[in-house]
Amino acid sequence: YGDDDKGFNSGSVYAIGVGLAFNAEGGDTSESETSCTTTSPSQAPTASPITPDPTKAATTTTSTISTTTTTSMTTTPEAKFWPDWLGDDTCVFNEEFPQYMKLNPSWTGSTLEDCCKRYYSWRYDDCIVEGGGTSNTATLYYPNWEGSDHVCVNDGEAPDYITQAASAFMFEDLEDCCEKYYWWNLAECLGSAANAGSNKYYADYSQSKCVKDCTESDCGGLVGGVWDELYDDKSACCAEKFWWVEDCDA
């Protein structure tokens, strides 16, 4: 063997060989105690084992992906009255109004009268009839400009231009019609409705005192028009209109 093979040198091989030869020739068959002495160390020790650095242990990252599912529900809009400008050009009642009206419900309404008054006031009566309603203009008050009495009437004979614009010219209450169109002739316009008066107080500047709106002996007569402010009691009228007159509320 070579000097370096198996960790032995030449001296070690010679000592072993002599011992074996002696026993083979019939010498002492007892086991020889052979001392082996090496003059040079065995091969250099192996390199230190490599131990992984625990601080550099691999780590595993788990990512969680959250998924949100949105469910869209489609509902059928409620039927409403709406102006069908591109169709029948009148107020109709169904749920087929355009998308912009669905997004802004103020375009639609719950009554035919409101729809016609808002969108077709210039031909209100026709709109009511076309929308399936019944015209009630025969019972409404309107200003009778063709007459000479300067009053409102409800005789069912209003001209077409008035019935077609009923929302502007026609009223359910006589007082509303008179106050808008004959405020300067209010007492006469109201007729029998004005005869009793309101029994409230108003300022009579010719006497510098407050008087009652009535026709009895202790009254000041009927108010002249809507410009006359009415008060529930005389002292309130005097405090507001004749505060400098000491005997105003006497």
CA-angle at 226, arms to 222 and 230, nearest 5°: 65
Give the model confidence (pLDDT) of 59-88 as tens digits: 555 555 555 555 545 566 688 999 998 888
77-91, 182-196, 217-231: lowest mean pLDDT where?
182-196
pLDDT band at 8 (very low <50, low <70, confident <90, very high): very low
79-83, 197-201, 208-212, 230-234: lowest mean pLDDT where?
197-201
Q: Is 8 exposed, middle or buried (0-12, 13-18, 19+ CB in 10 A)?
A: middle
Three-state DSSP state, 152: strand
CA-angle at 151, arms to 145 and 157, nearest 5°: 60
At 6 the pLDDT is 46
Of 44, 52, 42, 38, give the one whose Cα is nearest residue 10: 38
At 46 the pLDDT is 54
* Residues with Cβ within 8 Å of residue 136, at least 6 apart in sequence: 128
The CA radius of gyration of the chain, in Å to the nearest whole number, is: 59
8-state DSSP, 209: E
Token readout for 94 is: 């169904």
Q: CB–CB of 41/8 below 8 Å? A: no
